[in-house]
Structure formats: C-alpha cells, structure tokens
C-alpha cells in the first residue's frame, strides 16, 4: 500500500479515501489534513465521481483522533488557526454535491468522529468504537464536533457525550442516531460500496440539489426551508437529467443520467 497519509482511489464512479497511518491508528496530523485538502479538490473537480467512501487503513481504526505530538506544540493562536482550517475542510466535505459515506472500521475518536459527522452517512463495523474524547485531556472538540453532533442527535445527548468523553459502541451510536447502520466487520466495505453504487446510478443533478435542500434547510426555519426546496426543484427541472428520468419512466427502462 502507498505510504501517502491519504489514499484516493476511483472506480465505477465511486471515489474512496483511505486514511493511511495505521501505525498510529490513523491519527490526523498536518500532513494528513493537507492531503485531505488536495483529495477534496480532486473530487470537487471530477464530474465522473458520484459517491464518496471514507475509511481507515488497517482493521483497528477509522481515525483515532488528532496527532498528540502535534497537539503538544500548539499555542492559543495555532489552536485557533488549526481549528478554523479543519472546520473548513470538513465543511467542504459536508458540502460536496455527492453523498459521502464514512465506513467506520474501528476507533472513531475526536477529530475522527468530527470528520464522520461531516459525511452524509455513517456505516459502522460492529467492532467500531466512537467518542468525542477531548474533554479527557482538558480541551473540547475543535473541528465542528460541538455543532454537528448536537444537530444530529440533539443538545442533551450531544452534551452528555462531549462532557463525559466516554466511548460508545457501534450499537449505542446506532440507537442515538449517530450512525445509519451497523454491520459485521467483514461486510463493512461491501455494504458501503452497495450504498455508493446505488447513489452513483441516480441523477447527479437531483443528488446535488437534494443535498443542497437538506443541508441548507437544516439551518433555517420551515418557511425558508420550503422556499429553498422550491428553488432546488426548479433547478432540477431545468436539467436534461429530469427529462431523461421522466422519459425512461414512461418507456419502462432504466434511465441513463449524464449530470446535465
């Protein structure tokens, strides 16, 4: 396997990002963050990619957190700068016009949990463990965890996990709504690929505007959210994909979408 800290692979319109520092449980350092930045730029520019899977190298960790040796060197200023940079990275991930799937194959702690929360979906191995553990070393989540977790599972549950810093099982994460599905470890990538392959068959235009309506609507009141939805469906109807979808339905055949 490559020695790059982030490996980007593409096949059949699906991109896979693998965090590749298994000797330190795929802990994120500056080099890994920069590689993720470049990989996201590649994916943003590639119109052929219609779904994204993120996972960790090895069998033990998705991402165990931030590199502790780098954290020891942070000052108040560099802590703020790092937080803003990594929040921006995860905002780009959350804002992709394609669905992203975090395949959680093991430890998903700290910034690893924050990264997973920025994905559209989370599928967990039954052996996965999750947690926002920052409080245990005297800090708080800084890459979006305090904000994305409460939006996903509610203020009280999010506060419980963030303030206790406890590790939870994949099954508890499923019960809380943090993950979409739990599967046996040996089925994790196959299940993630099944999800991605299904999304890759859909209209890229419809996928883009469905995600836009969901993501933007989650941050506003219902009335404004409904206006966003109307705007997005109007844009869908301006596409060739919409014409192809309706025509294929009437002709009782599978549609062929080109993303236009």
Each domain of the chain, given as residue ranges in start order, spans: 6-200, 204-250
> What is the percent of the chain where pLDDT is above 70?
100
Mean pLDDT, residues 115-127: 97
Q: Which long-range contacts (CB under 8 A, 24 or more apart) does 117-122 make?
A: 117/90, 117/144, 117/145, 117/148, 117/149, 117/152, 117/178, 118/90, 118/91, 118/93, 118/94, 118/144, 118/148, 119/54, 119/93, 119/94, 120/94, 120/211, 121/180, 121/195, 122/173, 122/178, 122/179, 122/180
Question: Are 6-200 and 204-250 in the same CATH fold?
Answer: no
Mean pLDDT score of the chain: 94
Candidate CATH numbers 3.40.50.720, 3.50.50.60, 3.30.559.10, 1.10.12.10; the one for domain 204-250? 1.10.12.10
Q: Going by CATH, does the domain composed of 6-200 fall within 3.10.520.10?
A: no
Mean per-residue pLDDT for 117-130? 97
What residues are labeled active site?
Answer: 114, 134
Structure confidence at residue 246 (pLDDT): 84
Give me the percent of the chain exceeding a pLDDT of 90: 85
pLDDT category at 1 given cuts 50, 70, 90 is low
- Is residue 101 within 8 Å of 53, Cβ to Cβ? yes
- Which pTM value belongs to this model? 0.92
């Amino acid at each position: 396997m490559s020695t790059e800290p982030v490996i980007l692979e593409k096949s059949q319109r699906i991109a896979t990002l693998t965090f590749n520092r298994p000797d330190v449980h795929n802990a994120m350092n500056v080099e890994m963050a920069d590689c993720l930045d470049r990989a996201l730029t590649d994916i943003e520019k590639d119109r052929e990619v219609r779904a994204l899977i993120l996972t960790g190298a090895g069998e033990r960790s998705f991402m165990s957190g931030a590199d502790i040796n780098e954290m020891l060197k942070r000052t108040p200023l560099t802590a703020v700068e790092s937080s803003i940079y990594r929040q921006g990275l995860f905002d780009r991930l959350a804002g992709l016009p394609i669905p992203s799937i975090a395949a959680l194959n093991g430890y998903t702690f700290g910034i690893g949990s924050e990264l997973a929360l920025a994905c559209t979906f989370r599928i967990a191995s039954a052996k996965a463990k999750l947690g926002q553990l920052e409080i245990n070393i005297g800090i708080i989540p800084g890459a979006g965890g305090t904000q994305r977790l409460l939006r996903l599972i509610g203020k009280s549950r999010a506060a419980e996990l963030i303030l206790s810093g406890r590790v939870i099982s994949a099954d508890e994460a499923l019960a809380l709504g943090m993950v979409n599905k739990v599967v046996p470890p040996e089925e994790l990538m196959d299940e993630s690929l099944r999800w991605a392959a299904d999304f890759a068959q859909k209209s890229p235009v419809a996928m883009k505007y469905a995600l836009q309506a969901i993501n933007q609507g989650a941050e506003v009141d219902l009335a404004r959210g409904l206006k966003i939805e109307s705007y997005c469906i109007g844009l869908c109807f301006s596409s060739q994909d919409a014409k192809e979808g309706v025509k294929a339905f009437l002709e009782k055949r599978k549609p062929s979408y080109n993303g236009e």
